[in-house]
Every structure is written in C-alpha cells, then in structure tokens.
Structure 1
C-alpha cells in the first residue's frame, strides 16, 4: 500500500516540477526512431518536420530530452534543411525515461528562452510533443528493410532460445520521397539496433546517405544479414557501399533449381519443389578467393557459395545468395528457421540459459556502473544506519521530549529541548556522512576499452567516467581522443550512463530517479561536450563516451594465418607508441599468452601451445584432472574483470556463465570475429597512457579541472588472417 502511494506522489511531484510546453503548432511533426519504433536508453534519430513557411530552411533548432533523473537535456543545434516540400531538423538523442516527451525550441521562440544562474538555457518557451511508447531497454531490436513477414516468427524463435524479448521494426518496401527524407543518415542513429536484415531488392531504393549510415554502423560493430540473390548483380553494378557487403566480385548469374544444402541449413524441406516451379538465379563470383567463411555452398563439395560470413571492420555481415522476399523463399515454411540460422540463433552456446538479474544488477553494464561508483575511502551509508538514526530521532521527539515537558510541569522546556535535539541529530547525521567518506575530495575515475581494426584503420573508443563531488556543483564535462592513437576527424558522443530496466534509476522506470541536485543542463556545440551538469554534495554521476576515428599510423604488421588444426602460425608486431602489457593473442577458441610486447617487437605463434579461450576468460582452475569454473559474481567491483568478460562474453559462455546479459556492453563483444578469419591482440596500455581524454571542470571560482584516474585501459587490435587461411565450413 505504501509503495504505490509513494510512487504516485513522486510522479505528481515530477509532473509539477517540469515546465509545461506550449501548444503544439499545426502541421508540425516529430518522429523518433525507425518509423516511430525506438528503444529507451539508446541513441535515437529524431526528426522535427514543419511547413517551410513556418520553419524556413537555414534556421536552427534545439530539442530537450529527459535523462533518467527527469532533468531536461538540451541538444546541440541542428540546421533546418528542406526535403519533399517540408523543413526538417535532424537530431540524435537519448531518451532517459519511457515517457517520450520532447520539448522543441524553435527559432521563433528564441526570444522566450530563459537562462538560469549558470547561464544555461531553460525549457521555458518550448513546445511539447510525445513520442510512441518505446521498446524497453532490456529487449532487443531487429530492423528489417524489406517485406519479410517471416522475420516476426524468427524473432519469436530466437526469443525462446535466448529468453530475451526481440522486437521487430520494419522500414518496409522502398519508401516514398517524404518518408525517405526522414530515414536515419548517421551511423549512431542505429545504436538501438542489435541486427539488421536487408533484402537486396530494397538496396537500390534506399537513399545513399542511409546506406552509408548502415555501413558505418556495421563497421563500428554491427551485425548485418544481406539477402541478395539475383539482386546482387544490380548491387554490385551500382558500386556503392552495399557492394562491399558482398563476399566477392559478381561476374554474372546462374540458374539454381536444387537447394538441398539450404534445406539442411534451415532444417526444413520442400524448397526444391518450389524452386523448380519458379526458377531461381544466384550470383556467380570471380575465381579469386572469397573474403569470409563459406557456411553453405550450392552443392556439397562445391566452391560456389550460398551463405558466407565475413568480418567488416569491427562488425560482421552474413550474406545469403537468395532473395528472401521473392519466390520461392518468401512463403516457404522453412524461411523462419533459415533466418534463425542467419542470425546466429543456433551458434549460441547458452541457448538453454535464462538471464536472471541478481543482487540488484540487471546486466553487465549495470554492474560496471556500480563498480565505477565505488570510490576508495568512501561508501554509501548503510540503510540500517540511516533507519536507526531516523527511528532514534522520532523516539527522542516522542515520547522522550513529550515526557520531559509534561512530567516537569513546565511546557516551555520544549522550546529548549526541541532545538537541542534537532541540533544534536543534525550533527550526528553530518558526522555519520563524514565517517563514510562524504567529505572526500572531488574525484573522477575512468575506464576505457580501445578497439582497432587493422584492416581499415578504424578506431573505436569506449570510455566511462564516474564523478564524485564533496559539495553541490555544476560541471562542464567533455571527452576527446588522444592524437597519437586517433587521427582527426573524431566522431565522439558523451552522455549519462544508467541502468537498464525498471529499477530505481533505470531508464524504463515509470518515475524518474529523484535527484538531490535537480537542474537542467545542455550540450555545447556537439555531442562531446556537456555544460553545467548538476551534482549534489556527496553524490556520484556516471557518464559514458564513445568515439570513432582512424589510426594515425598502421597499428600492426602481421603474417598470421590459420593452420589445418585451427591454430595460428606466423608472427605479429604492433606499432602503438607504447608497450602493451599482459598481452594475449586470441583466435577461434584459443588464447596465446604473449606477455609484455614492445612497439615493433614480434610475437611468433609457430610452435606455441595455446590454451582454451573460454577457460581463460572464465578463470578456470585445474581441480583433480579437470577444469573447474567458479560462478560469476554479480556483486564484484573489479572494473577490469567486468570489461574482460564483456569483451568476449559469448566465448566465455554468455549468460550460461554470467547469468546476466551484457546489456549496453554487448557491442563490445568480439567473439563473432574470432570465427570469421580474424585474430585479436589484447593488451593493457599501462598507467602512463589514456586514449580518451576526460575534462571535468567545475563552474566555481577556481575553475580548476578535477584530477582524473584511469583504473583500466585495454587495447584490442583486430587482425585479418592471411588469405590462404580462408576456409570452407563443412
């Protein structure tokens, strides 16, 4: 009874504290996500459209979005452009609550925009709109480009295997000019998407900038399925970015009437009969070695592929030489299980395990946040202590204070005893906070994971920062990339870091987490700069940053190749401007211990005995002639260990080992690349180097930047194996 009442009161208070937006003008529209489908807590494309006479091209707009604390965050300015007779302003935002509230700050209301004491704009004078109910942050999102009804059934099959709900968003057939203008145009716009399935017939109808955005998302760690049979010839002829998703150079088409290998792959029959009646064409590739692993060939023992898996940057694309949205595949009963196979549904080794959040931790991302907030010398005051002080205070007021005043016959004593009791308990509360480290100096703890694709030179920096302040403050927070690792330009984005789910402070909670220092804040000129972020005395705030760039020089030289036994031969040397400590080389299911590797120093894998990657990540110990694994501890505060497991989560056994999902750290898992002709060199940079530069500056008289402590800095270099290492799956 008490909990629902408290929730209602908090919701009412939150509603009262939010500035009311003005009436929404006619003919204006806001679309968030993919046709209105978005996921809470992820970067989301948002398009504001209006008639050109109401919003002239060339103007700028801002939008305000709530963070998990219910505080409004002002976006960077977006330029207004014209498309299909309407004015558009594009944003990339993160919704911290499921409410979907958007406050738009149009140019004609700029004169009404107010500023607070820190000179930061407030939402006064904005107009409000609400977006559709979102997909919860704990569910997955599958994006389908094309007419593929079987994808919904495949999603349900995958859900039964993994236990986590999967939503399907469909961009449908080739969009109209107006709809195409609102499609995502940046790689970060696809942050919420776990996998994309694209039908080849839709590729030529998509805007070029959308295809470039999908390609960028793929190379940054995405997972793409391209279904292109006869349509592969048109894709290759267009010579766009989609042509790079094909496993080789298309030289023509060939008729194919037998698909026994596809039937075996899909574990379903009846396709041969349909194909014979319709007639199907598949692409033929040049004789040069294909880039990738052939999962399915046209005939057993044939070199002509039908399903190929290959690494592209830090992501992976699975190509199937069939147009799944056309006959004979579209209405084939086996299409659902075929999609399950293409989406790696059967490759998972944890399909019988169900994620069970424990100890207040929803996933590995939530565990990382909790670990970062554990500052040395400080700890949260235990609830038992807070409750004991509160009960003692109440008991002191009544019956103790009442008894003293009534028994003495002098009621005026209460005018003395009450201030004394209040002062005493205030001092007790203050001293209790000091005992648990409330007065510790300002601090910033960071961790980072830097991934480099040696083939393309792409660098992905993932970094997190936990801030703790001894007093109420407003902070300017910015992130940058080190120039000795990343060359300009750098695409960086900085934002809050919160738990998934409906727990207190979670992004799916019905009521925002009540913050002690509630104030709105804003981005600067770009997404890498936050201004006037509020923080309460003794409180913490955690931020995440992700940046992308290219290497300033070649990261490695390698002659690594795969042997017939599945191990590695050849040598590798890195060229980073610092030594890598505790180095390891991983490939397939194996791990090689390297030790410290100086710049330019070679490591030769020939003759080296690897050990099991799964056992190494899980820290298995030999006990009585067998390997024993201790269970994962969801309460561990070891930041380095959490990132190690998240980085190869599937290889370690997935939720079968940790019993919790990776959450927002899932994009860091490189396990899929280890079986796609890639090896990964892993090492620590040591305390002397940081690739992600955090700048935390308080808005006070001193303005001195806070000291930054990097507690974990790990590098992973993805290395392509020599062409002769390519193999055909049996």
Structure 2
C-alpha cells in the first residue's frame, strides 16, 4: 500500500562548502581503516545528473574479515537525499577489495557519505564534499596522457564561442585523462558522464591492463550511444601491433589489415586547416594502418582512385559512434608538427555534440526564454508537467477571494448586523464566514488540483536491426494529490525487445533555473533518504528501482527510465534503400514491427520523406510514392510568405510534446542550438543527426501503445490516468549508387 508522510516541516542541511573527510567507527569491531580510499568519477571529474562511478577500497583489519554492504548517500535533483546500496563479498583479514558503486549527484556542490555496514551491524563512515561539473559540460576522456587534448579543446571552445548565439550560455568542453586501467569502471553506467572516450592504441601497457568486463562495458556503452575515438598503433616493428588496433573491433568502422608507408599527407593537412606542412621533405614516410571492410564515412583519405587509403573513418556502432584514425598522433612526425592540436580538434569535433555552425542567421528567430531553463529537456519537462484535470489556481482568483473575505468579515458584516440590530451576532457570523471560505478553499484545491495519481510519459525507442539491439528512454512525470512515500519500479511493454535491463532513477533539471541542478537549494520538505535499489552485475546487467520515494502533496516528481536489450523480432526485415543524386533515396522500406505506426517519416542526409497515412504492421512503402522536402525546412517549419522563405520561431512556451521530441531526435540537423536558443547537452545521446550522414536512414513513427510501464508496489497505474507519447526509430542501412 502507499504510505503517507506528513512531516512537511522537517528541514535538513544536506551539504556545506567546507571539505569534510572523516572516519567514524560505531564500535570497536570494525577498525576505522576499513574504508581505505574513495575516488569519485574519473580522477575526481563527474557531471551532475549523470551516473558517476565511485571506487571505494575496503581494507580488512589483520585480526578479522569484513563483509556486509556499502551505502553511498547523495542528494538527488530535488535536493532530497538518496542512498545507493552495494553488497560485497567477504574481504579476508588483512586484505583489500575494490567496491564499485554508481550514483547520480543532483547538485554541483554537495556532500557525499560513504558508509560501510558490517554483517554484524557495525559501521564505518566517510563524509566528503563533491564538486560536480554542470550538466552542459562535455568531458573528453583519454586513456593515458599522450595527446594535447587541452590545447585542442581550447581551439574548439574558441571556434564554438564565435559561432555561439546563446548569450551567457556557451558550451564548454573539458579534457580529462587517466593513467591506469584500474580507474575504469567495469559497468557501462559508469561512462554515462563521458561525452567522448579517446584510446591511443600504442599505449599497450595500459590497454593490456583492461579486464574483459571493462572492455565489454566500453563497447556496450558505445553501442547504446557513446562515442569512441581510436588512434591506431602504427609502429611497424611491434610484433603485437594487430592486438591493440583490434581491441574494440566490434564497434570500429573497419579492421586493421596491415601497416604501410604513406607519402602523401595533403588531405590530413587540409582536414586540420593546417598552417604548416606535415610532409618534411623528400624522404618523408608516414606509417598508416590499412583498413579493410570499411563500414562508415571516410572523412580523410590519402591517395587517388583505387589506391586511396582511409586515414580518418567515422561510423555508427548501434546508436553510438566511433572514429578510427589510421595514423598515430602521439608519435613522430606529429609530435613536432605545429598543427597537431588543430588536427586533434578536428577529429574530436567529428563526434562532439552541438557542433552546428548555421547559427548567426537564425539569431533573430530565438524568442526570449522567460522560463529560465537552458536545455531542451527543461522544455520537455515543463510540457510533461501539464496533467489532465490539474490546474493552478490563478493569483487573480486568490486575490479576489481574499478581498471578498475581508469585505464580508469587515464592513458587510458590520452594516448588515447593525441594520438588523443584532450586533452581538458578529461572533457567530465571523465563525460562519471562516467555515464557508475554508470549505470553498478546500473545494477549489481538490477540484482544481485533482484527487488521484496521474502519470505523463514520453518515450523514444531506438532499434538497430543490424546490431539487433534496442534502447529505450522514457521520461515519467508522476503527480500526487497527497504526500506519499512510494515503492517504484518500471517494466517494458515493447514487443520488440527481450533480455531487458531496466533502470528507473530520478530526472533533474539542467541549469540554474529554480530547482535546477546547478543551484544549491536543498529540500525543505523531506530530510529522510529514500533507497535506490541498484542491482548491477557484469558489464551491462542492471536493475534499478526506487523504494520509499517521496512526493509532496499536490506536486509532481520527474523520473527517467532507461532500458535496453536485444531485438526480439523473429525475422530480418529486408530493407531496400539506395542513395543517388544529392543523397536522395530510391527503393522501399518496411515497418519491421508487429504494430502500426502513425505520424511516420523517413529521414536521410538532408532529406525528409513524410508518409501521409498510417503505416500498418510489416507494411512496405515505395519512395517513389512519397514527396520529399529539405529536413531543416521541416524541423524549423519553414514556409513561403510573400515569396520569401520564413522560419517559424521556436517558442519555449510551446508545450507540444511531439514537437519537442522531434527536435531532440534531430537537434543538430536543425542547427538546434541556434534555432531554439537552447542546448541539448543533458541527454544529447538521443540526437541521431550524424547517423543521417553515416550511410543510414532513420524511420520514425508513433505507436499507439506505451513502451514502458511504471509500477507502484508492483502494481501498474490505471490506463485512465496515463498520457503517453511513444516514438520508435529504426536505423536502416543505405546503399550507395555505383
């Protein structure tokens, strides 16, 4: 049953500005040294609102072993404390064990508590301050420290600042490196806060330390939306050169066949916008990895005709992206090249989000944002906060009722009773007036703000038929008519996925908006922590639910449900799409699902193909029967007015959920940062704009049935109190016309 909690006046100071690191032993049974070390994120780097790995070293005292559970406490996006629990096996006496926990920080500045509870109820506790990066910061992580990432990202920042049109809200890209594989988490959730991972294959000693679970976690993270750059090992004298180059071959756009010498470097120099030649003279030779079975876009190639060798290749790996660089930037001749940082910046920019460059001409279209949010997820949140039958009581009505109340208890009461000669009745009429107005207030509150739980949810379900992988993202907004403490879990309802891993967690608001994660506001309503029941194992298995999750009276809470699994469609649907002149398509495509789709369209490169009718289950459509229009024209609702192309300004007050989801799905294709005046950094992994230029088309359609289901105490909500918007996207390979 749902449990109520009416302790609305409790307050809690959840964190402070000073560093507090202390060890407290609850009894003499566990020595204070049981928690030897705690490391947050990647060498201290974490992003607010994203899953963050916490590496804890537990040391058992010489005289006894240690077993039990590790509990990490941190505030969520509403400033309410949450506890993340991780059980661990027995640590033998005198030995150490590394325990990985995964948490989400809801404030850029907060206090984290790590508590070790022994099997015999003895505890050790460490408390420390955590400074997380804002959600709009993009972190580029390098394994090792052989590249000039700081200099390269500074160049990117300067370039983007010149192109940026969002006053006071410029994107920032930060570099971070780690020197040991032991700092890499063994579960894919640990990489959630990383935008791009850079691997230099020549760092063999570091790569050989990678455990199988770490490699699997990285590959799974890429397939589900991560971005990986691999710099080839091109040392021809290295007998093991094929091993590091093939370390992540499952997600790379090709495989290394051999190492060869390259004389020409003209395209590399042009790609880097170089100011100096890389070619140093007549005897110059550049060792390059020769790729076979290339499956991606050759961004840079050297040579001509059949002898052209791919030098930089970008490809899709499931919903993620990977870049293979066939030359080693960490060695000569690049280390002495003046434009090495420019080259690295150009490579990173291939996969970095928010790189649209069309902005200045759209600046006048950006309507002033009076709501305070800075990210498009903030607008989605505002839209999902509109519940059926739930209305805010306008201030004008409140003020009118107060004025009428004062008139009645004052001059009206005095005048009427005086005319009746019953002045002594004022005590009765005063009490009666209070009762009437109190009843009216209760009636308005209950009738206008609702008297039942309600749920609004929006889902984007991505399906890659080649990789046979499905990824679901569902935003759930739950409204409560009374203060409740709920046990929440989520299950999938999609018939296209099996072996599902399911994560239900809080969803925060990016930025400094009121209640946003960049603020330092704590909850004044709830001080007792709720439980995040996270069962994580191997590299990808996950089950996360929430216990005793608090919701205040007549308010709502935002949740994020992420789930993934393998595609359960029994037969491979044959898609026949071919690209011809100017990237336009010919052929046909098929709805691979056992259910109909409506509001269907197909996108590829810069073209948009709308379907005017419902697409039935397993139905096939010929491209020749469809009209075609420019994709950016569609996304910006451009139309012809008096002979001129006019874009429809983006309205931050717009609450059209479908329109907002469309923008999130193809944000960069719309030059979204410039067009909307917002960022798409918090959940930018949902943007498939670059897939459109990587030999893929994307089929989009809305389903009648929701793809995910929220359960309270194991029971689903009634369909009558649920509104949902559920969109499916299918990536379809496109052949190039020869």
Structure 1 pair 336/535, CA: closer, same or farther in 2 (3 Å)? same
Give me the whole-angstrom Cα distance separating, in 1, the residues matched to 2:171 and 2:521.
Answer: 23
Superposition deviation, residue 505 in structure 1: 1.2
Equivalent residue for 2:41, pick from 24, 27, 33 = 33
**CA displacement, residues 91-125 of structure 1 (integer Å, 9 cap, x when unaligned):** 1111112334222332328737xxxxxxxxxxxx7
Give me the whole-angstrom Cα distance separating, in 2, the residues matched to 1:696 and 1:624.
Answer: 55
Give me the whole-angstrom Cα distance separating, in 1, the residues matched to 2:658 and 2:193.
Answer: 25
How does 1:221-370 map onto structure 2 within 5 Å?
Answer: 221-230=225-234, 234=240, 236-237=242-243, 241-274=247-280, 279-286=285-292, 288=293, 290-299=294-303, 301=305, 302-342=307-347, 343-344=349-350, 348-350=356-358, 352=360, 358-370=370-382
What's the counterpart of residue 717 of structure 1?
730
Contact kept, 8 Å, 1:97 with 1:509, in 2: the verdict is yes
Structure 1 pair 28/439, CA: closer, same or farther in 2 (3 Å)? same
Give me the whole-angstrom Cα distance separating, in 2, the residues matched to 1:246 and 1:494.
Answer: 30
Equivalent residue for 2:459, pick from 435, 444, 448 = 448
What's the counterpart of residue 408 of structure 1?
none
What's the counterpart of residue 217 of structure 1?
221
Structure 1 pair 22/93, CA: closer, same or farther in 2 (3 Å)? same
Give me the whole-angstrom Cα distance separating, in 1, the residues matched to 2:342 and 2:723.
Answer: 46
Give me the whole-angstrom Cα distance separating, in 1, the residues matched to 2:370 and 2:140.
Answer: 27
Structure 1 pair 391/705, CA: closer, same or farther in 2 (3 Å)? same
Contact kept, 8 Å, 2:219 with 2:250, in 1: the verdict is no
What's the counterpart of residue 623 of structure 2?
605
Structure 1 pair 143/277, CA: closer, same or farther in 2 (3 Å)? farther
Superposition deviation, residue 374 in structure 1: 0.6
How does 1:171-182 map onto structure 2 within 5 Å?
Answer: 171-173=177-179, 175=180, 180-182=181-183
Superposition deviation, residue 222 in structure 1: 1.7
Equivalent residue for 2:83, pick from 62, 70, 74 = 74
What's the counterpart of residue 551 of structure 2?
535
Structure 1 pair 231/417, CA: closer, same or farther in 2 (3 Å)? farther
Normalised by the size of structure 1, how large is the TM-score?
A: 0.84
What's the counterpart of residue 141 of structure 2?
143
**CA displacement, residues 231-280 of structure 1 (integer Å, 9 cap, x when unaligned):** 69856436865123443332211123442211111111334245878853
Contact kept, 8 Å, 2:12 with 2:527, in 1: the verdict is no
Structure 1 pair 231/98, CA: closer, same or farther in 2 (3 Å)? farther
Give me the whole-angstrom Cα distance separating, in 2, the residues matched to 1:186 and 1:494.
Answer: 16
Give me the whole-angstrom Cα distance separating, in 1, the residues matched to 2:411 and 2:154.
Answer: 61
Give me the whole-angstrom Cα distance separating, in 2, the residues matched to 1:29 and 1:470.
Answer: 44
Give me the whole-angstrom Cα distance separating, in 1, the residues matched to 2:51 and 2:464.
Answer: 23
Contact kept, 8 Å, 2:373 with 2:511, in 1: the verdict is no
What's the counterpart of residue 710 of structure 2?
694
How does 1:470-549 map onto structure 2 within 5 Å?
Answer: 470-482=481-493, 484-488=495-499, 490-515=500-525, 519-524=528-533, 526=535, 527-549=543-565
Contiguous gaps of at least 5 residues in structure 2? 1-7, 25-31, 165-169, 414-423, 536-542
Q: CA RMSD in A?
A: 3.8
Superposition deviation, residue 599 in structure 1: 2.4
Give me the whole-angstrom Cα distance separating, in 1, the residues matched to 2:125 and 2:672.
Answer: 45
Equivalent residue for 2:468, pick from 430, 452, 457 = 457
Q: Secondary structure at the match of 2:379?
A: helix
Normalised by the size of structure 2, how large is the TM-score?
A: 0.83
Structure 1 pair 292/525, CA: closer, same or farther in 2 (3 Å)? closer
**CA displacement, residues 308-327 of structure 1 (integer Å, 9 cap, x when unaligned):** 11111111112221212222
Q: Secondary structure at the match of 2:621?
A: strand
Structure 1 pair 607/581, CA: closer, same or farther in 2 (3 Å)? closer
Structure 1 pair 704/660, CA: closer, same or farther in 2 (3 Å)? closer
Structure 1 pair 662/549, CA: closer, same or farther in 2 (3 Å)? same
Contact kept, 8 Å, 2:71 with 2:86, in 1: the verdict is yes
Contact kept, 8 Å, 1:74 with 1:522, in 2: the verdict is yes
What's the counterpart of residue 121 of structure 1?
none
Aligned pairs, how many? 681
Contact kept, 8 Å, 1:680 with 1:719, in 2: the verdict is yes
Give me the whole-angstrom Cα distance separating, in 2, the residues matched to 1:226 and 1:394.
Answer: 73
What's the counterpart of residue 3 of structure 1?
none
What's the counterpart of residue 654 of structure 2?
636
Contact kept, 8 Å, 1:260 with 1:299, in 2: the verdict is no
Give me the whole-angstrom Cα distance separating, in 2, the residues matched to 1:564 and 1:579.
Answer: 31
What's the counterpart of residue 98 of structure 1?
108
Give me the whole-angstrom Cα distance separating, in 2, the residues matched to 1:56 and 1:396.
Answer: 75
Contact kept, 8 Å, 1:311 with 1:676, in 2: the verdict is yes
Contact kept, 8 Å, 1:235 with 1:243, in 2: the verdict is no
Structure 1 pair 520/272, CA: closer, same or farther in 2 (3 Å)? closer
Give me the whole-angstrom Cα distance separating, in 2, the residues matched to 1:439 and 1:563.
Answer: 56
Give me the whole-angstrom Cα distance separating, in 2, the residues matched to 1:144 and 1:367.
Answer: 33
Structure 1 pair 349/704, CA: closer, same or farther in 2 (3 Å)? closer
Contiguous gaps of at least 5 residues in structure 1? 1-9, 113-124, 402-411
What's the counterpart of residue 210 of structure 2?
207
Superposition deviation, residue 215 in structure 1: 1.4
Give me the whole-angstrom Cα distance separating, in 2, the residues matched to 1:395 and 1:89.
Answer: 67
Q: Secondary structure at the match of 1:651?
A: helix
Contact kept, 8 Å, 2:576 with 2:587, in 1: the verdict is yes
How does 1:77-156 map onto structure 2 within 5 Å?
Answer: 77-80=86-89, 86-108=96-118, 111=121, 127-148=125-146, 150-156=148-154
Contact kept, 8 Å, 1:62 with 1:74, in 2: the verdict is yes
Equivalent residue for 1:467, pick from 451, 467, 478 = 478
Q: Secondary structure at the match of 2:661?
A: helix
Q: Secondary structure at the match of 1:168?
A: strand
Contact kept, 8 Å, 2:59 with 2:91, in 1: the verdict is no
Q: Secondary structure at the match of 1:36?
A: coil
| Structure with the bigger percentage of strand | 2
Q: Secondary structure at the match of 2:697?
A: strand
